[in-house]
Structure formats: structure tokens, C-alpha cells
Amino acid sequence: MNKLKPSEEQLRFASVLQTISLGSLGILLIGFVVYVSGILPSFVPVSKIPQYWGLRVDEFIEKAGMPTGWHWVPLLNHGDMVALIGVVLLAATSMLSFIMILPTFLKKKDTSYSVIVVLQIIILLLAASGMIVGE
Amino acid sequence: MSRWGKFFLQCMVLILFMGVIQDAYGAEGVQEAARTGAQLAWWMWPIILFVFTFVLGILAVVAGVGGGVLFVPIVSSFFPFNLDFVRGAGLLVALSGALSAGPGLLRRGLANLRLALPMALIASLCSIFGAMVGLALPTNIVQTALGGTIIAIVFIMATAKRSDFPEVEKPDALSSALRISGIYFEESVGKEIDWQIHRTPQGLALFVLIGFMAGMFGLGAGWANVPVLNLLMGAPLKISVATSVFLLSITDSAAAWVYVNKGAVLPLIAVPSILGMMMGTRIGVKLLAKAKPKAVKWMVVSILFLAGLRALLKGLGIWG
């Protein structure tokens, strides 16, 4: 056995991370092109964004009527919401990678790291759900 | 000239340059320029941001400074965006950079999953709280704290020593229980290096603070991760740097969710910045062989110091 070779779970994590992050970046770029090209109408017109970006986020949400949490999902017929898909996927990449490698740790009966990975998934899921920030 | 001498000389040049701009426009003129800037055609902004972050990405690689740590203080100093949106974009810039580099570092055995996971668990949890606190506090307080933090980071960058192969006589009980150790081939000395770590509980305690600050300020945290992993816990420098990059992909991901859910990520700011920084980083890697990293590093550190000073004075209501 080559002792310099990284562990099975490390190689699997690298592979999953690369696949998902490349996909997320591709979708981020496509979503942005859809947004700025005006193919779909925007919930907040892109030309008006410069009027809002000097405001604090709470003021921006209130004045522009932007959705928070996951309330943007039903509005996916808008270009600015489509642009958020790539952002969300980018933020979700680590969580999805952890979910994919958990079986490897469980199969190896690596209890301590299985627990760490499960806790990490719970933390990232809670953050993603918006429950922690009350959205 | 000593490096401190060069640093202060560059700071003086930059401050004089800023002073010339202030004199030319007057304080109100600068404010007006920001307002007029906001009236530029909207499509100009993504292009300006892309070019700016592209250059920043090149400088970050050549200077050996994380792009994430440069983005927030510099963009918040020179662009008319609220700090909330700059921090949201900053986290995504740091996250995308870490996600791009992470897989390769893991495959080469430089980033270590067993070393990163316990630290990431603590740091990511604390980064969520940091992000929540950062979005709840008044802007001037966050700006002042950001300025103070950036100046402290400049100090750490200028003075922190690095140890290529720290001596760890005996691993601590926690790292032994978690089987955190490894072996890698060190090309510079042409041999395999066995490594282990110590002081794991103290390291974990420091990651509470590192995670909180990363979330609060939207900064990459390589400047703090590397000294803790290398100098405190005794991981070899290359393992520390690579593991730190991978760690960022987890810590910043947790904090990024808070900004996304609060609506503090504007694609018009975030996406061109991510793309600019990533492309700049790739060009920077190619230029690295020809550039003079030391000179660039001191220039970048000087700009960072000035951006930190401006954030501090802006937060205190003294400048801008």
C-alpha cells in the first residue's frame, strides 16, 4: 500500500467537491447571463439595483420588497432569482460533499469522524434552512 | 532598507496619493463622486468590479495573500456598496476560491481531511453566529471593528514567523484519539515527512474566534488558520496552508448561508467579483514565476493597511 496516497474518504471528498463546485460555478455563470441579459424579467429591475446597494440589507429588503430565506424559489420566473440558483449551489457544495462521504466513514466504522460529519451536516442544514436567522 | 521601512514608505506614498485625491475633490467632492458613480449605467458596475477583482486576484496570488481578506476592506473602501453586501460577496469570493483549490490539495495529500474536519466543525458553527452578529450590529461598529481587525491582520502578516517543519515530540491525547497525523513528500528536501500535531484543544478554542470573525466580517481566514495550525498545533507549513484553504470552504459556506437567507447577496456585485477573482488568481499563478513576490507583497500589505485604516476612521466618523 502506498503510504503517501491520501485516504479513501479524502479522495472521495475531493472528487465530489470538484464535481459539485464546477457545476455550481457553471450554473452561477449561466444564471448571471440570464439575469443581466434581460431574457427573463427581474423582480427588482437590474437598472434599479444601484439605487439600493448603498442601503443596509434590512432597508433594501423593505424598500425593494425582495424575498428573504427560501421565498425566492416560487419566483424563479424572474432573472434575478435565477441568478441566485448558482449562489445557493455554491454555498451548498460543502454540505452536499459531506452527505456524499458520510457512507464511507460509516462503512469504515470510524465512529468519531462519522459523528463529526453528521454534526457538520446538521450545522450546514440549519444554516441553509434559514431557521437560525429566523427566515 | 528594512521591510518596515519599505512598508512605511509605501504607506506614506499611498496616504499622499489619497490626500491628493481628497484635495482635488474635497471631502464633499469624494462623497459626490460616489453618488455620481451610483448614477453610472448599471452595466458598467459588473465590468468595473470584474476588472478590479481580476487585478486583485493577480496581486493576491503573487503576494501570497488570500483574495478573500483583500476583497472586503478594499471594495468597501473604494466602491459605493453597503458593507452588508460587500461582506456577502466577500464570503462567496473566499468560498469559490477555496472550492477551486480544495480538491487538488486534498488529492495531493497536502490538505488533510482528518485535521480539517474537527476545526471546521467549530469554526463553521461560530461563523454562523459571527454573521448574525455582523448583520445585526450598526454599520459604524462593524466598520470600526473591521478596520481594527485588518490592521491587526497586517501586523500578523508582517511579523508572524513560519516554521516549515515544527517539532512535535508527542501528539496530544485528542489528536491521538482522532488519529490526526500524516505523511507527505516534501519536494524542497526530496524526502517523505511524517507529521503529527499537539495542543489540539487550544487550537479548537482559537477556531471559535477565527470562525466568528470570518462570519462577522466576510473575510477569508487563512491569515489566522495558518499560524494556529502551523505555530500552535505543529502541522508542517505546507500542510497548514493547504488545510487552511480547504477549511475555508466549510467555514465560509456556513456563514454564506446567513447572508444568502438575509438577502445580503446581490448577484450584480457577487458574481463579477467571483469570476474576476478566480480568473485573476489563475493569471497570478502563471505570473508568479516572473514577478517579484516580495515587492508585490509589501505593496498589497500597504494597500490592505490603508484600507483597514480607512475602514477604522470611516467607522469612527473621522474619514468619509
Q: Amino acid identity of B162?
A: R
Burial class for B24, CB neighbours closer than 10 Å (0-12, 13-18, 19+)? exposed
Answer yes or no: is pLDDT of B129 > 60.
yes
- Which candidate from A10, A50, A83 shows the least CB-CB separation from B38? A50
pLDDT tens-digit profile of B241-250? Answer: 889 989 999 9
Is B164 within the bounds of a domain?
A: yes
Query: Please, which residues bridge with residue B191 across strands?
Result: B186
Helix (H, G, I), strand (E, B) or coil at B165: coil
pLDDT tier at B39 (50, 70, 90 boundaries)?
Answer: low
Q: Give Cα separations from B137 to B45, B71, B305 (angstroms).
A: 28, 21, 24
Specify the number of domains making up chain B. 1
Q: For residue B261, is pLDDT > 60?
A: yes
Window 99-128 of A: residues touching B by CB (8 A cutoff) are: 112-113, 116-117, 119-120, 123-124, 126-128
* A58-86 per-residue burial string, b: 16 or more CB within 10 A, e: under 16: eebbeebebbbbeebeeeeebbbbbbbbb
How far, in Å, CA of B90 to CA of B112, rounded? 25
Taking 70 as the pLDDT cut, the residues of chain A under it are 1-2, 134-135
- Whether residue B26 lies inside any domain: the answer is no
Has residue B320 got a pLDDT over 70? no
Confidence (pLDDT) at B247: 92
What average pLDDT does the structure give for chain B? 85
Most confident of A117-126, B27-36, B292-301: A117-126
- Residue range of the domain that includes B198: 3-7+45-315
User: In the structure, what pLDDT confidence band is assigned to residue B83 with cuts at 50, 70 and 90?
Assistant: very high
Q: Residue B291 falls within a domain, yes or no?
A: yes
In the block, residue with C-alpha cell 443581466? A36
Residue of B nearest to A3 (CA): B183
Among candidate residues B230, B82, B69, the one with its CA nearest the CA of residue B153: B69
Q: Would residue B69 count as lying in a domain? A: yes
Phi, psi of B196 (to 5 degrees): -145, 170
Which three cell numbers, joined as nine digits, stand for B66? 488570500
Q: Do A17 and B102 touch (CB under 8 A)?
A: yes
Element (H, E) at B183: strand B181-186
CA distance B203 to B198: 9
Model pLDDT, residue B13:
45
Residue B181 per-residue DSSP state: E
Question: For chain A, what are the domain ranges?
Answer: 11-129
Q: In the numeric block, which cell numbers belong to residue B36?
A: 455620481
pLDDT of residue B298: 83
Helix H or strand E segment including B191? strand B191-196
Burial class (CB in 10 A: 0-12, 13-18, 19+), B17: exposed
User: Is B33 an 8 Å CB contact of chain A?
Assistant: no
ipTM: 0.94
CB < 8 Å from B in window 55-74 of A: 55-57, 60-61, 66-70
